[in-house]
Structure 1
Amino acid sequence: MDYGISGLSLIPVRKEPSEKSEMVTQVLFGEHFEIFEEMVGWCHVRLAWDGYEGWIDSKMITPVNVRTINKLEKRPYAVTGDIISLIPVNDEQNLVLVAGSTLPVWRPYLKEFSVDKDTYKSEGEVYYGVQKNPREVVIKQALKYFNAPYLWGGRSPFGIDCSGFTQIIYKMIGMRIPRDAGEQVKMGVALSFVDETEPGDLAFFDDEEGNIVHVGIIWQRNKIIHASGKVRIDNVDQFGIFNVDLKRYTHKMRVMKKIIGTNETD
């Protein structure tokens, strides 16, 4: 089995091996993956963070060996918290990292990380492992994405979808949740009333067929942070999300879930 890691800010993962194919998700800097099929110019990969599969342009892949992968898997994940981080490469070049990027082989006392044989310094905000104040971190980081545009398959402040948003925010507190809302809803403990929720809990919404089609983060009582057109704050109650601009309900409530504090950690 071959392995790779993202040495770029973002790598699009596509449904089929074509630039014209739908983007299903993104690999952020420092995230690694298995390569289990290759064809001319493309690799079929499985992402280590969430098991998502798709096709990546082979030119975007930094190969790594299994020994490096084993080392990465044994360490707590270090995740960037700044919306944008500039990491010096030399006097003329920087790595540009988006929030939620992984800093492999992070050495907190030196503020250094390594990709293959290269070592870099990061002076910005970094979350290392499971956080002691997870709800505070979730809200602090979620609010940083305010007005970020919606992008199907996106996981960055430059474009993000609803479940990519919740996944990345939870990654910052050291919790691994699935990529899609339909899988995220299977985690945690169900809550009966909005009044039972705490900041950082998740709310899920369905369509007329009962399919989970949306997810957001509870902020304050009756307020939700979610990606719909853009990352925005709206009102939420037992019926669903009430869009403060449109003055109407836009999403129908299915269930609220408490994941933080239920031992569903990485």
Structure 2
Amino acid sequence: MRKDIADIELADRVFAPHYAAAELCAVMLPSVALRERPSEDARAASQLVLGEGFAIIDNEGGWAWGYGLHDHYVGYVPSDALGECAEPDHVVTAAAALVFAEADIKAPVVQTLPMGSRFAATADGKFLKTAEGYIHSRHAGPIGAVESDPVAVAERLIGQPYRWGGRGGEGVDCSGLVQIALALCGIAAPRDTDQQREIGTDIPDGEPLKRGDLIFFPGHVGLMADAETLVHANAHWMAVVAEPLADVVARLKPDHDQPITAQRRVLA
């Protein structure tokens, strides 16, 4: 909701001068920033990737205001980044997928799609034929074929630049990395670090950490690759890295009496 308008689904809970029914559409670009204000100069609150759904509540001046269907995160995206698309049945599982003009790895590349992009496709040999071109089958898979190891997903993004608000399109932030990694394993996660602290169950103090555990710091989160190694997107290295958890704690200790604020176990 805004001061002037709200989703009609909230009519029984909040007052607004106007209500509007959500217009459902999808992202038509490889990625687009979800901004705090209707301006290209506004800070990115999050990011949407190809094929993800978006609910438009207001559409004015070339900007659509609404929320992403996967996590209900609210913001503005350019109206021309949205449209109707075929029901997606495949998702990019690699760090990035090249879209070739023909079913040939030597053909021109017409587009690059980030991890998590959703699209409709039919099999064509070793490729998937889409409306925009051909994606190699090693870079994507059926939406329903969820993975079992979110850390393995996150590790594919090691080396990708840190980008505030990013969810894989030319960069990713810490909570975006966690959200993407869990999503490909069929686990829905909210967007922000403080919200993600509700995922899973608390790990008692002194219990050994294991692969897949989420470790929270002031305004930050990462996944444990094993009992000692953290995979995280961070502004210190400006990249997704795997490094000793002890190094992260030591780096934060001068500014925080309690560098680790929570430990949560997502996987049994």
TM-score range, shorter chain: 0.7 to 0.9
* Structure 1: gaps of 5 or more residues: 207-212, 262-266
Closer, same or farther in 2 for the Cα pair 1:157/1:41, shift >3 Å? Answer: closer
Contact 2:110 2:133 (8 Å CA) reproduced: no
What are the within-5 Å matches in structure 2 for residues 108-127 of structure 1? 112=128, 118=131, 121-123=134-136, 124-127=138-141
One-letter identity of the residue aligned with 1:224: L
For 1:130 and 1:257, the matched residues in 2 are separated by 25
Partner Cα separation in structure 1 for residue 67 and residue 129 of structure 2: 23
Higher strand residue share: 1
> In the alignment, is residue 167 of structure 1 matched against residue 179 of structure 2?
yes
Which amino acid is 2:135 matched to?
S
Q: 1:78 to 1:92 in 2, by over 3 A?
A: closer
Equivalences for residues 126-165 of structure 1 within 5 A: 126-127=140-141, 128-129=143-144, 131=146, 134-135=148-149, 138-156=150-168, 158-165=170-177
Structure 2 residue matching 1:49: 3-state secondary structure: coil
CA distance, structure 2, for counterparts of residue 93 and residue 224 of structure 1: 34
1:219, distance to aligned residue in structure 2 (A): 0.8
CA RMSD after TM alignment: 2.8
Rounded to whole Å, the distance in 1 between the matches of 2:262 and 2:110 is: 43
Of all paired residues, the percent bearing the same amino acid is 23
Residue-by-residue CA offset, 1:192-245 (whole Å, 9 max, x unaligned): 146433211211123xxxxxx1110011112111111221223226xx9336xx
**What 5-or-longer segments of structure 2 have no aligned partner?**
1-21
Alignment match of 1:94 (pick from 98, 106, 110): 110
Query: 2:265 corresponds to which residue?
Result: 258
Which residue in 2 is equivalent to 1:222?
Answer: 228
C-alpha separation in 1, matches of 2:113 and 2:188:
20
TM-score normalised by length of structure 2:
0.76
Aligned length: 235
Matches within 5 A, 1:174-253: 174-193=186-205, 195-206=207-218, 213-229=219-235, 230-236=239-245, 241-242=248-249, 252-253=259-260
**Distance in 2 between residues matched to 1:166 and 1:204, nearest whole Å:** 11
Task: Tell me what 2:5 maps to.
Answer: none
Pair member with larger Rg: 2
Q: TM-score scaled by structure 1?
A: 0.76
Q: Which amino acid aligns with 2:188?
A: R
Is the 8 Å Cα contact of residues 79 and 171 (structure 1) preserved in structure 2?
A: no
Q: Which amino acid aligns with 1:24?
A: A
Report the secondary structure of 1:38's partner residue. strand
